[in-house]
Amino acid sequence: MAIEIVKLIDDPRLILGVVETAGGEVREASPELQALGAELLASRGGADYAIPEDKRRAVRQLLKIGGFSPSGRNRPAHELLVRDLQERGEFHHINNVVDVNNVISLAHLLPISIFDTAKLGDTLTVRIGEPDEGYVFNQSGQWLDVKRCIACCNGQPPGEPVGTPVKDSMATKVFPGAGGLLGVIYGSTDGWSPAELAAITEEFADLLVRETGGTLLQAVVA
């Protein structure tokens, strides 16, 4: 049964692209996926590349709907991916699942969260983070304060925050052995039409299924 998505943010700009798969394998990226990473390096990795201002503004304004400040270390995840491409001089391959997430994020300049469904309940609640809420987002134990940010939360409302358009929690990250996956694209109608966001969601689903061999449970916009 697919995970239920409860969206508690009443702002017409926010469209979530939700993709869920079951089964499949977390492994090294295929040659085809690695080639997509190389293409993105060529198009996004140059020192003179800058995210188009209308796209950059649309996502940042979306993150501000609860009062969050998307700047510095708290900038949207796809902005950090572009910077990493430029500084590293190569696409940073991690595993097929994370690479699919990052390929779609870089290609369409949108932040995406990806979760191991075995670490989630049967509901994911999307709401604005409250004071004193947050989580550890890396192996060094660094903490992300999600107050006023769009937050994916594990369980029925209010749930516990596990992901944002900035960084995801270590508690639900995808590692080898994961049996199911849930991806959430944070889309803004200020920069993309609903039809475009639906098409990006389908592209994400197709690539995730192809790369992992999993079964698609849902690919919807909400």
50-34-2-111 Cα dihedral, nearest 10 degrees: -10
Task: Give the domain extent around 85.
Answer: 4-221
Q: Looking at 31-178, list the stretches that DSSP marks H as alpha helix, in order from N- to C-terminal side.
A: 31-44, 53-63, 77-88, 96-108
- Predicted confidence at residue 60, as pLDDT, reads 98
**Bond before 131 cis per omega within 30 degrees:** no
| 3-state SS assignment for residue 217 | strand
> Tokens in use for 171?
């508690």
Q: For residues 46-57, give the mean pLDDT.
A: 97
19 neighbors 199 (Cβ within 8 angstroms):
no
For the record, the structure tokens of 44 come out as: 């996004």
pLDDT of residue 129: 98
pLDDT for 179 beyond 90: no
- Separation between Cα atoms, residue 50 and residue 217, nearest integer Å: 36
pLDDT for 163: 98
Cβ contact 172:116 at 8 Å: yes
Domain containing residue 136: CATH number: 3.50.40.10
The total of structural domains in the chain comes to: 1
**Chain mean pLDDT for the chain:** 97
* The overall pTM is greater than 0.95: yes
